[in-house]
A and B are shown apart, each in its own frame.
Chain A
Amino acid sequence: MPNVHQFEVIVVGAGGAGLMAGLYASKSAKTAVISKLYPTRSHTGAAQGGISAALGNYEEDKPEWHMYDTVKGSDYLGDQDAIEFMCNEAIDAVLELEHMGLPFDRTPEGKISQRPFGGHTNNETGKPVRRAAHAADRTGHMILQTLYQQCIKNDVTFFDEYQVVDFIMVDGKASGIVAIELATGEFHTFHGKSIVFATGGHGRIFEVTSNAYAYTGDGAAILYRRGIPLEDMEFFQFHPTGIYKLGILITEGVRGEGGVLINGRGERFMPKYAPSVKDLASRDVVSRAILTEIKEGRGVDGKNYVWLDIRPETVNKFAAEDGRKNPDGSPYTITGDTVLKKIPDIIDFCRVYLGVDPITQMMPIQPTAHYTMGGIPTNKFGEVVVEDKGSKVPGLYAAGECACVSVHGANRLGTNSLLDLVVFGKHAGLKAAEYAKSAEWTRLPGNADSAARSEFEALRNGSGKENAFDLSNEMKSVMFRDVGIYRRENEMQSALEKVREMQARYKDVRVSDTGTIFNTELLNAWELGNMLEVAEVIAMSALNRRESRGGHSREDYPERDDENWLKHTLVTKKNGKAEISYKPVVITKHRPKARVY
């Protein structure tokens, strides 16, 4: 078998979580980071608004409040031990990024600047608190750049533009991965003691999404095929403010800076749905509010969008009505210049894609598929746990959006994703290296890459009756329409059947490019297989959960049902069939109660 590499720790994916894992694992173990993109192309770089930590740089804040807000945001489905761990680690994590060189914006005293975000509150007053540490509206870009720079400084080994295609397990232990080198089409086998999956989410299964093309659920699909369960896949976050039709994200930071949502009649509508924090309610709450406005005929011109308004005169009017104050107690006001400084990229997006200038015009927005709350089940150290008793796969780790710790439960709070990948990326890297130091090498089977090779052969030899591009569009449209923000039994049932039908039709795809060098057609077709796999698990899990909780909102079961459904879903593939099981939610400090914003 040619192209065999050996590393003690193999990290798959080079976004925030993968880079952090690579950085920490490489301090003590021989480590490789493998990524289908150049690391700086990873989707972490698209995150805008901020990373949360109770630094308290403007006003009092505490990790306990951050924890409670996260638990409440998760609609009580998040595991509280993991949430507490993350919120306690947050302050040091953000300070570490600053020490690494991340150019955060600054307060007048030179400290890291922070802004309000949805669901971030002072638990005593219920008022918004400034917890999101930011670098303009490109915080994710700066995190990605800073971590990649640290990897360069520390000589981390990268395999750029290598697509992971399989996971190798020997005697129940993680043993390696198989990857294709994009530039040559050659298969490579990476033999390792510890494997960290940090492959990101799968928002590309939906028609309107803020997610990158790369977000096709590769890691989740590969492990699922190898018998690892996927947890809480019914919970997918629809971000309230995507650019109409394009889905490009407009950060919640716009509302943090005072922006408000306006319906087709020119009315600010969020106070009806969240009387206390209004436009800064949790994302699931705001997305549903927008859809309700549209359904009741108050979209703009009868279409399925509403306005987001950051024009200074609007912001100042409503800030005065809400009694919003600056830290020094003076009334909160903004100018066009403030807007330009705080959200330059958003202004650029609107000008380029819409021909709209947000300083003088309103932005047309609709909810956009944004974030995967579910994923590969792990504990707070990034160790993959395969069933309800917490048993592990020795040597297998996951971190970042592909993982489900679960800290986000049924709905993620804004800025907790960047925190998640920094904290859990680090700990997965540390654990992976620690395990690699004590573990024996497994014996790699001689044909380790044969399963992957045959998957790719099949795509070259299909009947050609089906076109991957059309099939992909069909899946996106079905999933967005029928397993989207509002869900109903019949529609989800039909979506599940259609996805299964598409999985069968997928076998008739034939890739026309017969070459080996950068055969992106072949890789895209293979990614479609992953998306169909993941879409099935999402539809199944959503259909199965007969309640509404966080991002999973059923019209036929509109209430949260703690008696029957305060539990995590696990879907496991056994003998080619998907089976559902459950595991309990870890509740430590906060008993579930009604969730009102």
Chain B
Amino acid sequence: MEVTVKIFRYNPEKDTRGNYVTYKVEADPNDRILDLLEYIKGKTDGALSFRRSCAHGVCGSDAMRINGRNRLACKVLVRDVGENITIEPVLGMKVKKDLIVDMEPFFDNYRKMLPYLINDSPLPENGRERLQSPEQRARFDETTKCILCAACTTSCPSFWASDQYYGPAAMVTAHRFIFDSRDEGASQRLRILAETDGIARCHTAYSCTEACPREIQVTKAIGEVKMAIMTGKID
């Protein structure tokens, strides 16, 4: 089938503003959108730039807006979106070139969450693993799936309104540690999240949950963190 792919283009070395270029491509319904981008880059327009690596939805490189929704280009097939396809960079981050955006502020927000296990207690004397029951492990399973693709954060109206807001992906990371029974840093993280640019800016729009390619219940996770801040209890 022939598909029409309209792609946002912006090259700061040449353009003062972005524009859209339309390409006609022969495609199979099972092709990934990433396959189309690779084909266009390979055969028609070598300058077209985008990030990609694993090509099956686990590395988080290729989040972009596909027909108005944040998706991973490698995890959406032509048959899912039909023959008219519009591809744009994610919103709310500075476009560096075409579909590539500046990820630095995103990773800065990630780092603000103290994204590592905090536990200064001595390790078990036998040198073995810290014990954790399957139920305790299940408590934060969902948020361990995050691949830091930024699809959630860049679909969030509160993030668009203020890029100072840490954004849903950072909250997902905070959740992953706050609810880990082995972690002792919850109070530090909750203090950070209680700041002005923290969790209060979440208005429960659910855009993040809809955008997550890993099907993480992001809004629910943020809700659990909010509850922990309000009650001072983690359970």
Give Cα A518 to B98, complex, Å: 10
- Find the A residue at minimum CB distance from B110: A152
Give Cα A352 to B75, complex, Å: 7
Chain A residues whose CB sits within 8 angstroms of the CB of B115 once the complex forms: 149, 152
The answer to whether the Cβ of A292 comes within 8 Å of any Cβ in the partner chain is no
- Find the A residue at minimum CB distance from B43: A469
Interchain CB contact (< 8 A) of A135 among B45, B49, B144, B182:
B144
Contact check, B13 vs A515: say whether CB atoms are below 8 A apart.
yes
Restricting to B45-66, which residues have a CB under 8 Å from any CB of A? Answer: 45-47, 49-61
Chain A residues whose CB sits within 8 angstroms of the CB of B182 once the complex forms: 101
Of A36-44, A403-411, A496-504, the stretch lying at the interface with chain B is A36-44
Closest chain-B Cβ to A476's Cβ sits at a distance in Å of 12
Q: Which residues of B contact A (CB under 8 A)?
A: 11-14, 30, 38, 41-43, 45-47, 49-61, 75, 77, 96-98, 100, 103, 107, 111, 115-117, 119, 123, 127-134, 136-137, 140-141, 144-145, 147-148, 177, 180, 182-183, 215
Contact check, A349 vs B56: say whether CB atoms are below 8 A apart.
yes
Contact check, B129 vs A103: say whether CB atoms are below 8 A apart.
no
Contact check, B96 vs A517: say whether CB atoms are below 8 A apart.
yes
Contact check, A153 vs B134: say whether CB atoms are below 8 A apart.
no
Contact check, A149 vs B116: say whether CB atoms are below 8 A apart.
yes
The answer to whether the Cβ of A511 comes within 8 Å of any Cβ in the partner chain is yes
The answer to whether the Cβ of A6 comes within 8 Å of any Cβ in the partner chain is no
Closest chain-B Cβ to A214's Cβ sits at a distance in Å of 5
Give Cα A347 to B136, complex, Å: 24
Most buried by B among A42, A45, A106: A106
- Find the A residue at minimum CB distance from B45: A512
The answer to whether the Cβ of A508 comes within 8 Å of any Cβ in the partner chain is no
Contact check, A517 vs B12: say whether CB atoms are below 8 A apart.
yes
Contact check, A37 vs B134: say whether CB atoms are below 8 A apart.
no
Return 10 A-B CB contacts under 8 Å, by A number: A38-B103, A101-B182, A104-B129, A109-B131, A135-B144, A153-B116, A472-B42, A511-B46, A518-B100, A519-B49
Interchain CB contact (< 8 A) of B58 among A45, A149, A520:
A45
- Find the A residue at minimum CB distance from B117: A101
Of A92-100, A187-195, A541-549, A571-579, the stretch lying at the interface with chain B is A92-100
- Find the A residue at minimum CB distance from B72: A352
Give Cα A135 to B60, complex, Å: 19
Contact check, A111 vs B129: say whether CB atoms are below 8 A apart.
yes
Closest chain-B Cβ to A462's Cβ sits at a distance in Å of 12
Chain A residues whose CB sits within 8 angstroms of the CB of B107 once the complex forms: 38
Chain A residues whose CB sits within 8 angstroms of the CB of B96 once the complex forms: 183, 517-518
Given contacts A40-B59, A518-B49, 14 further A-B contacts (CB under 8 A): A45-B58, A101-B117, A105-B134, A106-B134, A149-B115, A183-B96, A345-B58, A352-B77, A467-B42, A512-B45, A512-B46, A517-B96, A521-B41, A521-B49
The answer to whether the Cβ of A516 comes within 8 Å of any Cβ in the partner chain is yes
Contact check, B55 vs A105: say whether CB atoms are below 8 A apart.
no
Q: Which residues of A contact B (CB under 8 A)?
A: 37-38, 40-43, 45-46, 92, 95, 98-101, 103-112, 135-136, 138, 141-142, 145, 149-150, 152-153, 183, 212-214, 246, 248, 345, 348-349, 352-353, 467-470, 472, 511-513, 515-521
Contact check, A349 vs B57: say whether CB atoms are below 8 A apart.
yes
Chain B residues whose CB sits within 8 angstroms of the CB of A183 once the complex forms: 96
Most buried by A among B12, B60, B134: B134
Contact check, B137 vs A515: say whether CB atoms are below 8 A apart.
no
Chain B residues whose CB sits within 8 angstroms of the CB of A519 once the complex forms: 47, 49
Closest chain-B Cβ to A250's Cβ sits at a distance in Å of 11
Contact check, A110 vs B131: say whether CB atoms are below 8 A apart.
yes
- Find the A residue at minimum CB distance from B13: A515
Contact check, B130 vs A99: say whether CB atoms are below 8 A apart.
yes
Contact check, A513 vs B180: say whether CB atoms are below 8 A apart.
no
Contact check, B46 vs A513: say whether CB atoms are below 8 A apart.
yes
Q: What 10 pairs across the A-B complex have the smallest Cβ distances?
A: A101-B117, A469-B42, A110-B131, A513-B47, A149-B116, A521-B46, A512-B46, A153-B116, A41-B59, A98-B129
Give Cα A472 to B100, complex, Å: 24
Interchain CB contact (< 8 A) of B13 among A42, A135, A136, A516:
A516
Chain B residues whose CB sits within 8 angstroms of the CB of A109 once the complex forms: 131
Give Cα A110 to B145, complex, Å: 21
Give Cα A100 to B51, complex, Å: 30
**With A512-B47, A521-B46 in contact, do A142 and B57 touch (Cβ < 8 Å)?**
no
Give Cα A511 to B140, complex, Å: 47
Closest chain-A Cβ to B17's Cβ sits at a distance in Å of 16
Closest chain-A Cβ to B123's Cβ sits at a distance in Å of 6
Give Cα A352 to B182, complex, Å: 34
Interchain CB contact (< 8 A) of A37 among B12, B13, B43, B61:
B61
Contact check, B117 vs A149: say whether CB atoms are below 8 A apart.
yes
Contact check, A517 vs B13: say whether CB atoms are below 8 A apart.
yes
**With A45-B147, A101-B117 in contact, do A141 and B111 touch (Cβ < 8 Å)?**
no
Most buried by A among B14, B117, B147: B117
Chain B residues whose CB sits within 8 angstroms of the CB of A104 once the complex forms: 129, 137
Contact check, A98 vs B13: say whether CB atoms are below 8 A apart.
no
Closest chain-B Cβ to A504's Cβ sits at a distance in Å of 21
Chain B residues whose CB sits within 8 angstroms of the CB of A38 once the complex forms: 61, 103, 107, 148
Give Cα A570 to B9, complex, Å: 47
Give Cα A107 to B131, complex, Å: 9
Interchain CB contact (< 8 A) of B59 among A46, A95, A472, A517:
A46
Closest chain-A Cβ to B147's Cβ sits at a distance in Å of 7
Closest chain-A Cβ to B183's Cβ sits at a distance in Å of 7
